[in-house]
Amino acid sequence: MATKKKTDQDLQLDKDQLKASIVRHLRSTLGTSEQKASPEAWWKATAAAVNEQVYERLTRTQQTHFKKDTRAIHYLSAEFLMGRLTSNNLHNLSLYKTCEEALGELGLELTDLCEQEPDMALGNGGLGRLAACFIDSLATLNYPAVGYGIHYEHGLFRQEIQDGRQIERPDSWREYGNPWEICRPESVQEVPLYGYVETVFGDNGGLKKVWHAGRKIKGVPWDIPVVGFGGHTVNILRLWESRASEFFDWDVFNAGGYIDSQAEKAQAETISKVLYPNDETDAGKELRLIQQYFFCACSIKDIMRRYKRVHGSDFSNFAAQIAIQLNDTHPTVAIPELMRVLVDEEDLNWDTAWAICYQVFSYTNHTLLPEALEKWSVSLFEKVLPRHLEVIYEINARFLNELVEPKWPGNDAIKAKLSIIEEGAVRKVRMGNLCVIGSSKVNGVAEIHSKLVKEDLFPEYAELWPEKMCNVTNGVTPRRWLLACNPELAGLYNEVVGKEWPLQLDKLRGVVKFADDKAFQQQFMTIKRHNKEKLVKVIKDETGIDVSAEAIFDIQIKRLHEYKRQQLNLIHIMALYRRLLANPDYDMHPRVFIFGSKAAPGYKLAKDIIYAINKLADRVNNDARIQGKLKVVFMPNYRVSLAEKLIPAADVSEQISTAGYEASGTGNMKMALNGAITIGTLDGANIEIAEEAGAENCAIFGLNVDEVKSLKARGYNPYDFYYANSELKAVLDWFDTDYFTPGRPGELASIKRSLLEGGDPYLTLADFQSYSDAHKLIDTWYRDPALWAKKAIINSATMGKFNSDRSIQDYVDRIWALKACNIG
Ligand code: GPU
């Protein structure tokens, strides 16, 4: 019997229904009672109640996509930094208020329950968080999409600070179960590894390659429903967990090798055990290559299975139905994997397979840093993926002979540069080159970055394929990064410009006309003040440090990297401290400098910088002479849920990378959207932020991209700046003393060394004076409350461009050519 389709309206719960559902789940799903339940049980019961709504919509979405046989985007990413999902899902289902009231009647506070949820930290930083914002926007805009990634048992390490130093502890986000994920045993895949390749005669008499795998690994999919804002589309994020496959261990087991079979099992499960914590550096480790292949192979098989269910072995529609986006080079091996499947398993000829493959893939580049451009040694590739190496050689040979040779006849230098294989003592596979050759589009993530990708990183490829290179400026979801994290400001905006802004962030432009309005300024700054007061408590709880909400909250939150220049912030704070010690009446508004940052465990200098920040904080925060004018706070364990508390409280947003090195940045967008003023270089998306807000509303400083290039070309000598600036010299010399590490002189000397003997590769000293001047400007602006309020309001109101919905629409228009699909 046909059941009548439920509309969104039919699905909507009222407060009493939701309350009843939560209590029912508390008893029947969690097995406890209202009297005994822990906050954690209440949180899980709430999630279970919400899931009833989610699953209904998920099923409707999947049925609709299947029936309409829509083209879909498959977003392959080694990282998805989802954070918490409870409040996000409630907001996107328009259930947040209802849930707050329902729990209120049960004597519970929704915000407290949300704090029970561990962050899902399956990513390192910006790249992983971007993937999370993008899948939110895809669902919100009703685009058929699947996110594919790895179900890491341990996400990014938990950071503890002991005596000022970073200690890494394992993250166990799902130790006690995660209510948002669903295991899908019916979609398990098996992935081959190692072994050798045999050439045999195929059915048609031609030669055929057969890969005899040395091992097989089982991939178990876990689905996280991704609820679009408005709750119409619920897509999935499918994360693969590795398990031992029955394939190999039975023989061993039967021979009495139970212990060996357990070792093989442990090895198989190691693949998805832990996220590599190196952000923007290439670890080059075998396990990492296996992780990449594992999730790509599972995903390609999953895509194939779904395609063949409808189209059988007719691949003529494949490229029309399937788009695959490679989030940086981490999933590059999906390209030779698709070729292998089409040629070896589906018996397509090479040219037909290549025509499909090339159309299906697109590649997003997220960095120009050479140490982040992945290269795998040929010998490792040959051992782990012998057939893929052959496929790569074939792709390369055809590319060099059919495209490079005709364009640059006899030019071996260009061939060597464009080849997928890097020759030398250790031959290497260059994943970036493979991506460009195997993709129909290549994009950078901000205007300036895309220009540099085209002109500096891949100029010859751009000459070969001028149409291939494009830009899609990054964005952030305004649902998480304004509506959910800053409810008071969201409420004010609802009153002033209406409630459409979470979907159409440009509507905030309507606020600009109130930027000079005294009453509005007061409302805006009162909200900022409330957010700062909330943060004051968090800081006290987490660090024991007392700070005043009267002060300017100046925030730098991002991974620790020399190119992001936390060291520039550090030496400037030291300079301020010196000025205050020299002159207790030094004229400045009280300032709190707040840092949040994890360093890669093997990145010694980055860890030393964290140590230096903490030692400086100890000294400054306890120095009565400076009358509380300066405070330094290092917030341990920076993560998405902490960002949601810091960003709404920011007065000043530190975006101080060396120009040309930060591909885009996305924290810059989030802070400006919440009314912070950017102190920043002309780098990445800062340029576009300043364009939108007006340069006069940002404190721009430092060398621009061209000036950085020409200073480097002239020969940069940091000593020139050291000797020319007595304050800078005094600050750097301070690192050699025991002023911040009593009794242990020289503990901070590595920082000075990197900036002088080390050559200061990121031009920290060159930008110091200009940075210091920009901070003086910030100080004078802040002391004029009306001026500050105006600038802060304009910043927030003009960030509409940085909605990740706009980014996704750009991907659709420039790359993916998808059609939105209405559900129900
Ligand atoms: N990014 Br590559 C990462 O977070 N991790 C990486 O491994 C690489 C890039 C960042 C960029 O540094 C940042 O500028 C950008 O906004 C972000 O990716 C998203 O595109």
Give the residue among 386, 169, 407 at the shortest CA–CA distance from 289: 386
Q: In 697-789, where do the E strands start and end?
A: 699-700
Annotated catalytic, 666?
yes
Give the residue among 760, 765, 777 at the shortest CA–CA distance from 703: 765
Look at residue 203 in the predicted model and tell me its pLDDT.
Answer: 82
Output the CA 91–ligand 1 centroid distance in Å. Answer: 27
Look at residue 261 in the predicted model and tell me its pLDDT.
Answer: 74
Structure tokens at 774: 């920009």
Pairing label, strands 215-227, 182-183:
antiparallel
Q: Is 453 in the pocket of ligand 1 (CB under 6 A)?
A: no
Q: Is 86 in the pocket of ligand 1 (CB under 6 A)?
A: no
Q: How far apart are CA 388 and CA 720, in angstroms?
A: 51
Look at residue 2 in the predicted model and tell me its pLDDT.
Answer: 44
Catalytic residue, from 441, 528, 558, 607: name it: 558
Q: Is 558 in the pocket of ligand 1 (CB under 6 A)?
A: no
Q: Quick check: 430 and 350 in contact, CB under 8 A? A: no
Q: Is 702 in the pocket of ligand 1 (CB under 6 A)?
A: no
Look at residue 204 in the predicted model and tell me its pLDDT.
Answer: 79
Q: How far apart are CA 84 and CA 148, in angstroms?
A: 18
- Looking from the CA of residue 666, the nearest atom of ligand 1 is 16
Q: How far apart are CA 237 and CA 17, in angstroms?
A: 28
Q: Is 279 in the pocket of ligand 1 (CB under 6 A)?
A: yes
Structure tokens at 344: 């070896």
Q: How far apart are CA 292 and CA 302, in angstroms?
A: 16
Structure tokens at 503: 């979907």
Closest residue by CA, ligand 1 atom 1: 127
Give the residue among 727, 667, 687, 87 at the shortest CA–CA distance from 446: 687
Catalytic residue, from 428, 454, 532, 564: name it: 564
Catalytic residue, from 84, 479, 559, 591: name it: 559
Low-confidence ranges of the chain (pLDDT < 50): 1-3, 249
Q: How far apart are CA 173 and CA 116, in angstroms?
A: 11
- Looking from the CA of residue 684, the nearest atom of ligand 1 is 14
Pairing label, strands 421-422, 165-169:
unpaired
Structure tokens at 635: 């917030």
Amino acid letter, residue 147: G
* 3-class state of residue 147 by DSSP: strand
Annotated catalytic, 681?
no
Annotated catalytic, 558?
yes
Q: Is 367 in the pocket of ligand 1 (CB under 6 A)?
A: yes
Q: Is 126 in the pocket of ligand 1 (CB under 6 A)?
A: yes
Look at residue 264 in the predicted model and tell me its pLDDT.
Answer: 81
Q: Is 445 in the pocket of ligand 1 (CB under 6 A)?
A: yes
Amino acid letter, residue 444: G
Give the residue among 60, 48, 51, 52 at the shortest CA–CA distance from 7: 60
Q: Which residues of 274-311 are buried (b: 16+ CB within 10 A; e: fewer)?
A: bbbbbbbbbeeeebbbbbbbbbbbbbbbbbbebbeeee
Q: How far apart are CA 8 and CA 641, in angstroms?
A: 30
Q: Pocket of ligand 1, candidates 366, 563, 638: which has the most ligand atoms within 8 Å of its Cβ, to mutate? A: 366
Q: Quick check: 234 and 228 in contact, CB under 8 A? A: yes
Catalytic residue, from 140, 233, 473, 666: name it: 666
Q: Is 684 in the pocket of ligand 1 (CB under 6 A)?
A: yes
- Looking from the CA of residue 663, the nearest atom of ligand 1 is 14
Q: Is 171 in the pocket of ligand 1 (CB under 6 A)?
A: no
Output the CA 679–ligand 1 centroid distance in Å. Answer: 20
Going by C-beta distance under 8 Å and a sequence separation of 6 or more, which residues neighbour residue 20?
Answer: none
State the CB neighbour count (10 A cutoff) for residue 24.
14
CA distances from 708 to 371, 442, 661, 711 (A): 19, 25, 10, 5
Q: Pocket of ligand 1, candidates 367, 448, 452: which has the most ligand atoms within 8 Å of its Cβ, to mutate? A: 367
- Looking from the CA of residue 328, the nearest atom of ligand 1 is 2
State the CB neighbour count (10 A cutoff) for residue 785.
12
Instruction: DSSP letter for 342, please.
Output: I
Output the CA 613–ligand 1 centroid distance in Å. Answer: 24
Which pTM value belongs to this model? 0.97
Pairing label, strands 441-444, 469-471:
parallel
Annotated catalytic, 383?
no
Q: Is 432 in the pocket of ligand 1 (CB under 6 A)?
A: no
- Looking from the CA of residue 128, the nearest atom of ligand 1 is 4
Q: How far apart are CA 88 and CA 228, in angstroms?
A: 10
State the CB neighbour count (10 A cutoff) for residue 590.
16
Output the CA 126–ligand 1 centroid distance in Å. Answer: 5
Structure tokens at 357: 């493959």
Instruction: DSSP letter for 704, please.
Output: -
Instruction: DSSP letter for 679, please.
Output: E
Phi, psi (deg, nearest 5) at residue 503: -100, -35
Phi, psi (deg, nearest 5) at residue 461: -65, -40
Look at residue 1 in the predicted model and tell me its pLDDT.
Answer: 40
Q: Is 277 in the pocket of ligand 1 (CB under 6 A)?
A: no
- Looking from the CA of residue 665, the nearest atom of ligand 1 is 16
Q: Is 552 in the pocket of ligand 1 (CB under 6 A)?
A: no
Look at residue 591 in the predicted model and tell me its pLDDT.
Answer: 98
Structure tokens at 262: 């357990």
Amino acid letter, residue 338: L
Phi, psi (deg, nearest 5) at residue 681: -90, 165
State the CB neighbour count (10 A cutoff) for residue 267.
15
CA distances from 428 to 280, 372, 381, 392, 433 (A): 19, 14, 9, 12, 11
Annotated catalytic, 670?
yes
Give the residue among 495, 570, 542, 530 at the shortest CA–CA distance from 638: 542
Going by C-beta distance under 8 Å and a sequence separation of 6 or more, which residues neighbour residue 366?
Answer: 126, 127, 327, 328, 445, 663, 664
Closest residue by CA, ligand 1 atom 13: 665
Q: Quick check: 181 and 222 in contact, CB under 8 A? A: yes
